[in-house]
Chain A
Amino acid sequence: MKVALLGLGSVGQGIASMVLKKGLGITITGLADSKSGIIDAKGINIEEILVRKRGGNPAGDTSVSAMDVVQNADYDVLVEVTPTNISTGEPARTHITSALRKGRHVVTSNKGPIALHHRELLTLADTHHVSLRYEATVCGAIPIIHILEHGLLGNQVKALHGIMNGTCNFILTRMSEEGLSYEQALAEAREMGYAEADPSYDVKGIDPAIKLVILANAIWNLGVTLHEVEITGIDQITPEALRLAGEDDATIRLIAEAIPARQLLRVSPRILPRSHPLVVKGTLNAVTLETDMAGSLTFIGRGAGSIETASAIIGDILFIREQYDGCS
């Protein structure tokens, strides 16, 4: 199966290194980072590219752009893992729509276009009889979209609650367990590489709200947007508040919740008993689904990381291969 890979940051490198290590019948025939691109129908030498990239050099030819790869490479699946832009979804949206119009499948970890243009992109994929898969956009390695689409057929999902941001969960875990202040726990998260230089996207609850939008649209096809989510972050939480919660054998976690019957889409810090299944530690993510037949189901796993996200991307690529005969 031939794959064109756009984006060679942490996720892109994770995918490339796993393809190199495991084979999996995947050949990378096109590749682009932010400054360069390569097209080779016989298969690109991944090892060489990774060495070059880790040395701080562009992966390929600076005269070849990502769009050149989309338009001219010979591939079955476009893997779009460029950085997310949540206000426009670009340039990922253009990459994705161009590939779909050419009748190519698309697999992405890019939250921007999926959160902003879910219906439009899925309709476009349908029109061209190809797949658009986005498992890697939410909850990292947890195959939540697969579960929703294939594992719970016949069930009605009534509500969804989850911990969808590892950075916030790490900060709250450290504050709760060690009595650290918010600032101390955030500094620690930065040191560990869990938080960005500007952490507001995570700690103000925007990132989990985007994931909530993606999941709500995936489950109920509601066509909701980020503006419809009521968002409160964790940046005002004090160690004293966690101590007070602890007196009731409870703790505080940042919970994303969607209950369509109550038109509720909310991300907010909440009090949970310590024994609650959603109270996971560190950077873990967790999602609970309330269903009519299967009852309550909780899934726990790593929400981020280069190889963990590659797991979701590769799962989507191989799923497409199984679904569509004729892909080699």
Chain B
Amino acid sequence: MVQVSMKLEMKDTPGQLVRALKPISDTGGNIIAVIHQRESLTRAEVIDVQVVIELPEKRLEELVARMNEQGVTVQRIGTERLIHKKSLILIGHIMHTDLTDTVDHIDTTGYAEVSELELIMPAIAEPSSARMMIKATNAEAMNKALEILRQVARKKDILVIESLEENG
């Protein structure tokens, strides 16, 4: 699944918004948000609507085509493939146990990546601490990525501290 934000332009006629949104469910998507700003009206007979949806990546083109058939102009599309984020803290000999290798284990999955890393090394031979942000395509991918990280960390004697909320 991919999260997409779209800016749509359509005629201001009764039922038009419902018709414009129908292709989303037809292509297997979920609507996350619909933002309709009347004050941003440019021409009296046309309205602008912003939608945020989640749908299978392969069906995005089909969706745009179907929307066009409904008389909707898709003005802009922005996609963010990795929508699940999780912040972790690592403690141990993070650099000297090959940090690149640790990060690669996540980055090579194709469904998750390390997007931020902040490392503090207080002194030589002392354990370092790091804050790591992992992004993944969905919750299931995140769990898989975390399990990979836990296994790598166990081998390298690195403590992984996870947040309570998302595990609860």
Contact = CB atoms under 8 A, between A and B. Distances in A.
Given A232-B159, A236-B91, A271-B89, A244 B164 contact: no
A196 interface: no
Contacts of B120: 240, 243-244
Q: Which size class do A's interface residues fall under?
A: 20 to 34
Contact of B161 (A241, A247, A248): A241
Contacts of A257: 164, 168
Interface string A227-254: 0000010001110110111011010100
B87 interface: yes
Interface residues of B, number: 21
A1 interface: no
Contact of A271 (B91, B129, B164): B164
A241 B164 contact: no
A14 interface: no
Contacts of B131: 244-245, 247-248
A276 B163 CA distance: 12
Nearest to B158: A236
A250 B86 CA distance: 13
B130 interface: yes
B163 A237 contact: no
Nearest to A252: B161
A272 B122 contact: no
A70 interface: no
B164 A276 contact: yes
Interface in A196-254: 232, 236-238, 240-241, 243-245, 247-248, 250, 252
A269 B127 CA distance: 17
A161 B89 contact: no
A245 B127 contact: no
Interface of A: 159, 161, 232, 236-238, 240-241, 243-245, 247-248, 250, 252, 255, 257, 268-273, 276, 278, 290
Interface of B: 87-89, 91-92, 118, 120, 122, 127-131, 159, 161-165, 167-168
- For the complex of A and B, the 10 pairs showing the least CB-CB separation, nearest first, are A240-B129, A244-B131, A240-B120, A241-B129, A271-B163, A270-B164, A238-B129, A241-B89, A236-B159, A272-B164
